Amino acid sequence: MNLRKLLAGMIILVFLVAACSPPPPLRDATMLADDSLVTSDEGCSAPCWRGIIPGETAWRDALTIIEDDDSLQNMETRSEENSQAVVAEWQQLDGGACCQMVSLDGETVNLVFLRLAPNLTVGQLIARNGVPAYVLGTPISDDQAIINLVYPELKTIIYTFVAGITGMLSADSEIIGVLYVTPEDMELLLKTSNLNVWEGYETYQY
């Protein structure tokens, strides 16, 4: 499982790893409609999602949570060849494939990735959680790019949409994904990636 390589390099969104041409629209209303980034109380706020916390929640318990959620469907699991790693994938009811969960040892959840419908904005995120510590850009196409917002204390990475490498991050920029990780993988990311310190709303090129 190359999870740690993914985190260390911050290589593109999980749903874009596979080669495809042209790239799919990053803003997709069929993805998970979830506002927990800005509404969750202290009982389950980031990096907790619906009771699942990377590094703490047992894999079997997490699968049960997803299976019992009436708003989710079509969960499938697969094993990583020659390792204990397992992956679960599911989708929102009547929506597209949106979500992944990974365990490296088959016992405990290591990450939860959610591709989100573009219903939340960076302004809402910052009002709820404060400013991110770091940012990193990922180009996708001429008119699509991602700015990753890294929250070390929350063990969370937020994926936001900007209009290509000439676009600008703003309070109105849409959130299109979130990755919850373990404390160990967040620490690894901070040590091995060339992240930029948050300096406010700026252009992608900045």
Q: What is the mean pLDDT of each run of 10 residues along the chain (206 residues)?
A: 42 42 81 92 87 97 96 91 88 92 93 95 96 92 91 96 92 96 92 90 87
On whether the CB atoms of residues 52 and 58 are closer than 8 A, the answer is no
Task: Give the 3-state secondary structure of residue 9.
Answer: helix
Here the tokens at position 154 are 């929350």
Could you give the CA distance from residue 196 to residue 206 in angstroms, rounded to a whole number? 10
3-state secondary structure labels for all residues of 88-114? EEEEECCCCEEEEEEECCCCECCEEEE
What is the predicted pLDDT for the residue at 82? 81
What is the predicted pLDDT for the residue at 203? 86
Here the tokens at position 29 are 């209303």
**Which tens digit of pLDDT belongs to each residue from 77-105?**
998 778 888 999 999 999 999 999 999 89
What is the predicted pLDDT for the residue at 17? 41
Alpha helical stretches, state H, the chain: 3-9, 36-39, 59-67, 122-129, 183-192
What is the predicted pLDDT for the residue at 43? 80
Calculate the CA dihedral of residues 54, 189, 77, 63 and round it to 10 degrees: 10
- 21 burial level (CB within 10 Å; 0-12, 13-18, 19+): exposed
Query: Going by C-beta distance under 8 Å and a sequence separation of 6 or more, which residues neighbour residue 35?
Result: 119, 120
Could you give the CA distance from residue 142 to residue 20 in angstroms, rounded to a whole number? 15
Here the tokens at position 8 are 């260390």
Task: Give the 3-state secondary structure of residue 50.
Answer: coil
